[in-house]
Structure 1
Amino acid sequence: MNVHPFIEAEKCAGHSVKRACELLKVSRAAFYARRFDILSKRRRQDAELTERNSLVHAGSRGAYGAPRVHAALRQTGTLCGRRRVARLMRETGLTGRCRRPRVRTTVPDPRAAHRPDLLDRDFAPSTGLNTRWCGDITYIATAEGWLYLATVIDIASRKVVGWATADHLRTSLVTQALTTACQTRKPKPGLVFHSDRGCQYTSRELAAVAASKSVRLSVGRTGVCWDNALAESFFATLKRELVAADGPMWSSRAAARVAIFEYVEGWYNVRRLHSSLGYRSPTDYETALAA
């Protein structure tokens, strides 16, 4: 029987180690030798885990906090507790990136025709790929001026299935993103494309493009970011992980486009772990559905 935990408990409670050893018929020298071995082994394990934490954190461009670092380690067969990972990351100064304050960019058109909200805030992952998409516009600072980014995301898998950039906010920006998504995914008629009530998304031009592709348009309420929460969340993630990693702005719009391409196509869609997908990437999630 291993009596060392009982002696350790007595020691932590402030009782005499000598007396506990005498009662359990264990020498104090053996107890302290065993205790030293356990602590040394723990320190070695902590050092190894700290190194693995650093590798995973660096591989995520410094974006992952303890939950995703822990999930990534578990996927590679490293057995460890989430709290232990968090403790070691704190001790070594490794942190994930926090969200920046949100800036409102939606400009509604008071003359736009009424469109329904077909989602009602249901952004849960599902097996229904290419049945519900959402989109939005954000802006990225460059030395040449703003670069505007429009995205289309498959709600079922969180995958960015279409995106476009431009130096303007005209409706052609969002129609290009939607057209690209339709060409890439080839959805069946009846797909729902959800957005906010920005003038680009309530325009006749987008309605015509959507009708030509048998896409049903859906919009949330004005000024209520939760009605398009998934699209808002993606932009918060992009700005937290990409913009913070490469600095406040790029030297040109072309450089920013390259950085966005590498982030979306080389990291976010294929490698980044999503907690809502069971800590899988969108591509891995879709592959699992197809299996």
Structure 2
Amino acid sequence: MAVQKSQKSFRNKGSRYLKKTVASIMKDGDIRSKTKKKYKATTNSKHHLPVYPNLLNQQFEADEPNQVWVADITYIWTKEGWLYLASIMDLFSRKMVGCCLSERMTKELVIKAFHRAIHQRNPQPGLIHHSDQGSQYASNEYQAMLRQYGIQTSMSRKGNGYDNACAESFHSIIELIFHETFTTRKEAKQRIFKYIECFYNAERIHSANEYMSPMKYEKMYQQGKK
């Protein structure tokens, strides 16, 4: 998979390399795909707040933007302590449409990420918002916001990471790339936001996007509608 993605990335940049050539370059440079065991859960599902059915049911595709958003939380270590990242992904293009970083893993963290997604996307009523059953997402304040914008709530089954696989996959990438120890939270915030906006959304190719970046895939979709 790593070789295939490298080959597609070269091709998108106007270069053509054989699969064996890419594999040889990776071998000579001691470049290999990295894997990492899953972190412990970052949200607390042991609460008495209402939970909602899984409307997504592991169907990780959407026909157009703002049909389905998936949300999740992860964390990154710095010498000043933990830094928490809340993110929202549009399943259509895998674009990160709302992110927020904070030293506390509270409902305010996910609320800020949601407001940023709303400001950027301005979705129409009917959108599905999928998350785990964490107290941040199940909170009365967060659910009231979803209702305000006519958004449907969908939640993973308790303890089932596969139900939100796309969001968790993105956070696995973040955890793998930023596994070093940052000196400050400010430094971590700057590096992570730069990665998301300048590389992940703008350049990183996805097999689900016909090997295009999220921004390029959405641009192609919009041009096709004209």
| TM-score, normalisation: structure 2 | 0.93
Contact 1:99 1:237 in 2 (8 A): no
1:9-48 aligned at under 5 Å gives the runs none
- Structure 2 counterpart of 1:237, from 173, 177, 180: 173
In structure 2, which of residues 102, 108, 116 is the aligned counterpart of residue 180 of structure 1? 116
Match of 2:8 among 71, 77, 87: 71
Equivalenced residues, count? 222
Residues 199-210 of structure 1 mapped to structure 2, 5 A cutoff: 199-210=135-146
Instruction: Give ranges in structure 1 of 5+ residues lacking alignment.
Output: 1-63
RMSD: 1.5
Q: Which string of whole-angstrom CA distances, capped at 9 and with x for unpartnered residues, describes residues 28-71 of structure 1?
A: xxxxxxxxxxxxxxxxxxxxxxxxxxxxxxxxxxxx93222211
Q: Give the superposition deviation at 1:110.
A: 3.5
Higher share of residues assigned helix = 1
What residue is the counterpart of 1:119 in the other structure? 56
Structure 2's unaligned 5+ residue stretches are: none
Tell me the CA shift for residue 212 of structure 1: 1.5
Q: Does the Cα contact within 8 Å between 1:109 and 1:202 map onto a contact in 2? A: no
Query: How far 1:114 sits from its partner (Å)?
Result: 3.1
> Structure 1: which amino acid aligns with 2:170?
F
Q: Structure 1 pair 117/81, CA: closer, same or farther in 2 (3 Å)?
A: same
**1:127, 1:289 within 8 Å by CA — same for their partners in 2?**
no
Partner Cα distance (1:278, 1:94) in 2:
24
So what's the TM-score if we normalise by structure 1?
Answer: 0.73
Partners of 1:169 and 1:73 in 2: how far apart? 39
Residues of 1 paired with 2:45 and 2:15: CA distance?
50
Alignment match of 1:213 (pick from 149, 152, 168): 149
Residue in 1 that maps onto 2:17: 80
Give runs of aligned pairs for residues 145-224 of structure 1, distance below 5 A.
Answer: 145-224=81-160
Which contiguous aligned blocks of 4+ residues in structure 1 show a shift greater than 6 angstroms? none
Cα drift, residue 195 of structure 1: 0.2
Q: Return the index of the structure with the highest Cα Rg.
A: 1
Q: Distance in 2 between matches of 1:88 and 1:271?
A: 21
Q: Which has the higher contact order (CA 8 A, sep 6+)?
A: 2
- SS of equivalent to 2:15: coil
